[in-house]
Amino acid sequence: MKQIKTLQQAIQHYSDEQACIDEAAAMRWPDGKPVCPICDKREHYYLATQKRWKCKGCGKQFSVKVGTIFEDSPIPLNKWLLAMWMISNCKNGVSSYEIHRAIGISQKSAWFMLQRLRLAMRPDPITQVGGNGSIVEADETVIGGKLKFMHQRRKREMGMAGSGGFKRNKTIVMGVKDRHASEVRATVIPYAGRETMQAMVNEHVKPETVMYTDAHVGYDHLKRQFSHEVINHMEAYVRGNVHTNGIENFWSLLKRGLNGTYIAVEPFHLQRYVDEQVFRYNHRKHGNEKVSDGDRFRLLLSQVAGKRLTWAEVTGKAGAETSN
Ligand SMILES: [Zn+2]
């Protein structure tokens, strides 16, 4: 495969729909044999004019989009891949307005596209950090949505109109950072209390880890499962090696992205923006080696399968997906 290094090369390469299909198929089925999503058979004919496969087992046709975040999308794959290139590689993220202008689709389509791309950026399954006596920092931060930019009707829909609304628009994000691996896990939590904070750590951090946190009461019981060092920010921010500067740097990045690029983030969409920032952060370098834009893009392309997000889910008109 040709090495693509810049946005300009990506635009050129992905202007050809067949090149897009070939690349998406290669990432999805690394052995070069597409698998029928209906019956799992691997024998098929390729219908070149329709750019679909016809399964020899069940006789059904399928495209490379089936069973991925691209499913049911009328937007051609080449536009998807350009948007994917931009979100993988723009350090502070990219807004639906930028995508709308850059690739020529409506802002509404671009917004929906970005929500689906963020879903692909979420690791699945989630792997734990730490272990073997390594150091993991934990911290939490408050993200305040810019309520003033939100439309009145939208505020009412979200139950935020009126004086009590402001508080409810503040959302807490909790994160852990593995210092050696330089990897972050971050998640929206409903409130900053012992149960939620302890549960977040238990889910994302391996046993036999040395946890560094501030003196927040939510971390009180960490010592039952981990070694636990506390830096009391009333006294100092650093005590020798004990500090939480790593995860705090990640919060700065997250907030810069949110304030600079996105006009307003509603609380229930916040997890997806967090996932986006975590993806770029965790794949900025592996060891001492910088990850190239092309490699980060291909990694994201390899994560599109098995994930679907419908318009109803993303706009809050259907159940569980919208709760965070
Ligand atoms: Zn089949």
CA of 113 to the centre of ligand 1 (A): 28
- CB 146: neighbour CB atoms within 10 A? 13
Question: Cα of 63 to ligand 1 centre, how many Å?
Answer: 12
64, 88, 121: which is the final residue of a domain?
A: 121
143 in the same domain as 65: no
Are 259 and 144 within one domain? yes
Question: Pick from 235, 250, 265: which residue ends a domain?
Answer: 265
Domain membership of residue 208 (yes or no) is: yes
For residue 28, what pLDDT is reported? 85
Q: For residue 44, how far is its CA from the centre of ligand 1 (angstroms)?
A: 8
Q: How far apart are CA 276 and CA 121, in angstroms?
A: 6
* CATH classification of the domain holding 258: 3.30.420
Distance (angstroms) between ligand 1 centre and the Cα of 43 equals 8
Question: Total domain count for the chain?
Answer: 2
At residue 209, φ and ψ (nearest 5 deg) are: -125, 145
- Cβ contact 139:214 at 8 Å: yes
Residue 277 pLDDT: 95
Owning domain of residue 251: 135-265
Ligand 1 center–CA 69 separation, angstroms: 20
Q: What's the confidence (pLDDT) of residue 167?
A: 46
Residues for the chain: how many in total? 324
Distance 33 CA to ligand 1 centre (A): 13
Claim to verify: residue 86 and residue 194 sit in the same structural domain: no
Q: How far is CA 224 from CA 65, 112, 213, 243, 280, in A?
A: 47, 43, 14, 20, 33
pTM of structure: 0.85
Q: Specify the pLDDT at position 45.
A: 93
Q: Is 126 among the domain residues?
A: no
Q: Are residues 172 and 249 in the same domain?
A: yes
pLDDT by residue, tens only, the chain of 324 residues: 568 899 999 999 988 989 999 988 988 888 888 999 899 999 999 999 999 999 999 999 999 998 899 988 999 999 999 999 999 999 888 999 999 999 999 999 999 999 999 999 998 888 999 999 999 999 999 987 555 555 565 555 554 444 444 445 688 999 999 999 999 999 999 999 999 999 999 999 999 999 999 999 999 999 999 999 999 988 888 889 999 999 999 999 999 888 777 766 777 789 999 999 999 999 998 878 899 999 899 889 988 887 766 666 666 655 433 333
- Assess if residue 73 is contained within a domain: yes
Tell how far the Cα of 60 is from the centroid of ligand 1, in angstroms: 6
Residues, CB-to-ion distance under 5 Å, ligand 1: 36, 38-39, 41, 55, 57-58
Q: Which amino acid is at 180?
A: H
C-alpha of residue 53 to centroid of ligand 1, in Å: 10
